[in-house]
């Protein structure tokens, strides 16, 4: 009896001490493999396929240099990180085939036909680049799985996802890792529902094409540049922001943030996902004139919203074409915001909006206060929501997607052989 009483008292003491000053705080875990860029490098700015591979290692090095994430929380192969955590294997072939056609995958693995292997816009192909794509998506899946298991925020310092469709690449995107990770988690019954929040300046058209009509995965894309994707549907929520309707500066920033904060809470509650995959695009900076301060508080809001609703989140790098130093600052702001939210926002906190500066937020006593951006706009929100597809149209779209997957399927041994060939003489994937 006394033993049971002592156990109960110990439990109560531990419960009461959770979150107290001095207690260990939850930490953001980050995935990055030096193979992600595939040995590709290029200019430090501009609308170039080489910008992404150049910025990935630069962001990783900035995280190390500024000690934004502790070594034990960094999953990498880099020998420069003493005490690093182990990295994930390349993504498995089965998960890739669940999203992309065999014909397209074979082109990515072999480089032939060149036009298909380089349909995303890269200037060249080689095996290191192909390995980098698979390592990248493997890291995203591992980060997602960890976020789910630990109910926290994780990151994969990779990109090149949301324009990639079932049988082609586009806009510097090769494999739609967002959909690959979501489908794998659902197939393994680790998640029932996954939401993809896409705040890149460009519409997530490839994601929409890949998941349209699959109710367990939702795509929420708030963009400024249309890329030819499907209309809105039950699981495809698209919002075209008319940034030019407001003058650049505080009002345009507040307008963008007002739309984000108006859309996301309602849809997250409606779908009630087990995991959120967040495409933290930085190209609203150079593409829409949204300030660095606005993008930082946008990320703080997204992370706070996820934690307030008890939703684990994995974020990834996304668009941005400013000079390299600016890009590194923008993307490391996302790292800092995730750290700050994990440090200061207890799960289950409540978000309120009050009249304040557009860029200030505070978390105190389980209340997170953000600006009332709608009040700062002083007018209607300039956002276009495309018409909704009929149920019949969605079924037609799904049937066509299945036809393409079926017609471009190869014998199992053929596609397995070219996949394995990438790893000959290396650790088995």
> For position 287, what pLDDT does the model report?
94
Please state, in angstroms and rounded to a whole number, the distance separating the CA atoms of residues 13 and 333: 36
Give the pLDDT confidence of 150-204 residue by residue, as tens digits: 999 999 999 999 999 999 999 999 999 999 999 999 999 999 999 999 999 999 9
Q: Which residue has the tokens 């290396």?
A: 426
Task: For residue 337, report the phi and psi dihedrals to the nearest 5 degrees.
Answer: -65, -40
Predicted pLDDT of residue 198: 98
Stretch 359-374: mean pLDDT, rounded? 96
Task: Label residue 375 by pLDDT band (50, 70, 90).
Answer: very high
Residues in the chain: 429
Report d(CA 221, CA 200) in Å as an integer.
8
Closest Cα partner for 333 from 308, 301, 372? 301
Locate tokens 């929409």: which residue?
A: 208
* Predicted local distance difference test score (pLDDT) of residue 312: 97
Q: How confident is the model at residue 44 (pLDDT cuts 50, 70, 90)?
A: low
Q: What percent of the chain has pLDDT over 90?
A: 83
What gap in Å lies between CA 304 and CA 339, rounded to an integer?
11
Q: Evaluate the omega torsion of the peptide bond into residue 362 and state whether it is cis, within 30 degrees of 0.
A: no
Question: H helices within 282-369, ranges in order?
Answer: 283-288, 292-308, 324-344
Q: What is the pLDDT of residue 13?
A: 30
| Residue 102, both tokens | 């065999």
- Check if the beta carbon of residue 329 is closer than 8 Å to that of residue 289: no
Distance of CA 429 to the CA centre of its chain: 23
DSSP letter (8 states) at residue 366: T
What are 380-421's pLDDT values in tens digits?
Answer: 999 999 999 999 999 999 999 999 999 999 999 999 999 999
DSSP label at residue 386: P
136-145, 199-208, 313-322: least confidently modelled range: 313-322
Q: Within the chain, how many helices (H) and strands (E) appear? A: 15, 12
For the entire predicted model, the pTM comes to 0.92
- Mind listing the domains of the chain with CATH numbers? 28-421 (3.40.800.20)
Q: Which strand ranges, in their side-by-side order, compose the sheet holding 362-364?
A: 350-354, 367-371, 362-364
Q: Which residue, among 306, 239, 224, 318, has the nearest Cα to 271 in the 3D structure?
A: 306
Q: How far apart are CA 116 and CA 77, in angstroms?
A: 30
The percent of residues above 70 in pLDDT, for the chain, comes to 90
First to last CA, the chain: 53
Mean pLDDT for the stretch of residues 226-241? 97
The DSSP letter of residue 237 is E
138 pLDDT above the threshold of 90: yes
The CA radius of gyration of the chain, in Å to the nearest whole number, is 22
19's tokens? 């979150």
Rounded Cα gap, residues 328 and 279, in angstroms: 16
Torsion angle of the four alpha carbons 410, 416, 422, 424, in this order, in degrees rounded to the nearest 10: -150
Side-chain half-sphere CA neighbours of 165 within 13 A? 20
**Helix, strand or coil, per DSSP, at residue 47:** coil
Dihedral sign for Cα 235, 227, 104, 178, please: negative
One DSSP character per residue, 69-137 reads S-GGGEE---TTSTTPBPPPPPPPHHHHHTTS-HHHHHHHHH--SHHHHTTT--S---HHHHHHHHHHH
Confidence of residue 347 (pLDDT cuts 50, 70, 90): confident
| Separation of CA 181 from chain center | 11
């Amino acid at each position: 009896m006394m033993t049971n009483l002592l156990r109960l008292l110990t439990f109560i003491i531990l419960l009461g001490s959770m979150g107290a000053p001095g207690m260990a705080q939850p930490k953001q875990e980050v995935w990055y493999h030096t193979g992600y860029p595939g040995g590709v490098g290029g200019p430090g700015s501009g609308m170039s396929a080489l910008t992404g591979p150049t910025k990935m290692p630069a962001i990783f090095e900035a995280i190390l240099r500024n000690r934004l994430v502790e070594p034990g929380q960094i999953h990498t192969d880099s020998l420069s990180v003493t005490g690093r955590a182990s990295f994930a294997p390349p993504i498995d072939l089965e998960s890739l085939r669940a999203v992309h056609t065999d014909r397209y995958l074979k082109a990515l693995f072999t480089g032939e036909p060149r036009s298909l292997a380089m349909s995303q816009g890269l200037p060249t192909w080689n095996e290191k680049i192909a390995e980098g794509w698979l390592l990248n998506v493997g890291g995203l899946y591992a980060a997602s799985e960890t976020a789910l298991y630990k109910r926290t925020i994780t990151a994969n310092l990779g990109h090149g996802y949301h324009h990639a469709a079932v049988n082609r690449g586009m806009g510097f995107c090769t494999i739609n890792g967002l959909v690959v990770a979501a489908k794998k988690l659902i197939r393994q019954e680790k998640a029932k529902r996954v939401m993809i929040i896409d705040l890149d300046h460009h519409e997530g058209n490839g994601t929409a094409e890949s998941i349209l009509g699959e109710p367990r995965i939702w795509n929420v894309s708030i963009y400024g540049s249309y890329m030819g994707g499907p209309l809105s549907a039950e699981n495809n929520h698209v919002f075209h922001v008319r940034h030019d309707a407001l003058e650049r500066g505080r009002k345009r920033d507040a307008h963008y943030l007002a739309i984000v904060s108006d859309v996301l809470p309602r849809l997250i509650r409606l779908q009630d996902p087990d995991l959120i995959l967040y495409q933290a695009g930085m190209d609203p900076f150079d593409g829409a004139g949204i300030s660095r301060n606005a993008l930082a508080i946008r990320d703080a809001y997204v992370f706070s919203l996820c934690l307030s609703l008890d939703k684990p989140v994995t974020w990834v790098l996304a668009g941005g074409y400013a000079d390299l130093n600016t890009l590194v600052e923008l993307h490391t702001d996302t790292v800092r915001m995730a750290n700050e939210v994990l440090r200061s926002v207890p799960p289950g906190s409540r978000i309120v909006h009050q009249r304040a500066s557009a860029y200030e937020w505070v978390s105190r006593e389980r209340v997170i206060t953000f600006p009332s951006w709608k009040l700062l706009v002083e007018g209607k929100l300039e956002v276009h929501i495309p018409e909704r597809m009929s149920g019949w149209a969605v079924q037609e779209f799904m049937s066509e997607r299945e036809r393409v997957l079926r017609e471009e399927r190869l014998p199992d041994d053929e596609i397995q052989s070219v996949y394995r060939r990438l790893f000959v003489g290396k650790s088995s994937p």
